[in-house]
Amino acid sequence: MMKSEVTYFFVKTDWIKALAVIKNDNNKIVYIRLGQNEANLLKGTLAWFEKVTKKKYNNMSYHLNDESKFKDKVKLHEIKNIFVSILNQEKESPNELLEFELITGTDFQKKVWIEISKIKHGKTLQYSDIANNLGNPKAVRAVGRACGENNLVILIPCHRVLGSSKKLTGFAYGLEMKKYLLKKEKLITMKYDTILYLNEHYYSIKCKCYIVNVLH
């Protein structure tokens, strides 16, 4: 089994913390995790990579290093600044500014993720649109499952994928987070301003708002 050196780093915005992992040999993002507690972010990330190694994706194992061991400090600083801008919705085409690499997933899942990565800031698609674009209109549920396995949240913007009749359905970080992200992109309007309450577990979110209209 081949070994790949990867580096994780943390960033913080006014609304969320995130951990991202990049490959040392090409500086591409391979994993993103959102939350509020750095210890839990790292714990979840280590568990994910352990699982990936056990499944022997591409016959590859991964050795995680912290950012202090990353040689090109200037490049890392650039990547972190772009990533923060993306999280704050200051950058409209994240996958053009930060390259990513898919290190897990079936062939079909990878096709779904690539298709979702093409959804521009300010736009949404339905699960059925993705299935149709892939030439497999009956694969709507499989598209939904692929969204749930997306480990490059934001860069692969599965929050921009809606259910039938543009309903807000499934999101790995919860529907309230999905609402919040769409509101930041001005894709939905809400009667009240959003207030997020996050504890140490990234998935524990409450949102004092409700959707009035999906704009796209």
Identify the CA nearest to 63 among candidates 102, 100, 24, 104.
Answer: 24
Task: Judge whether 124 and 179 are in contact, CB under 8 Å.
Answer: no
Beta carbons within 10 angstroms of residue 49's beta carbon: 20
Catalytic pick among 147, 158, 207, 209: 158
> What six digits make up the tokens of 61?
């194992």
Do residues 91 and 97 touch, judged by C-beta distance below 8 A?
yes
Give catalytic status of residue 147 as yes or no: no
16-39 as b/e: b if 16+ CB within 10 A? bbbbbbbbbeebbbbbbbbbbeee
Catalytic residues: 158
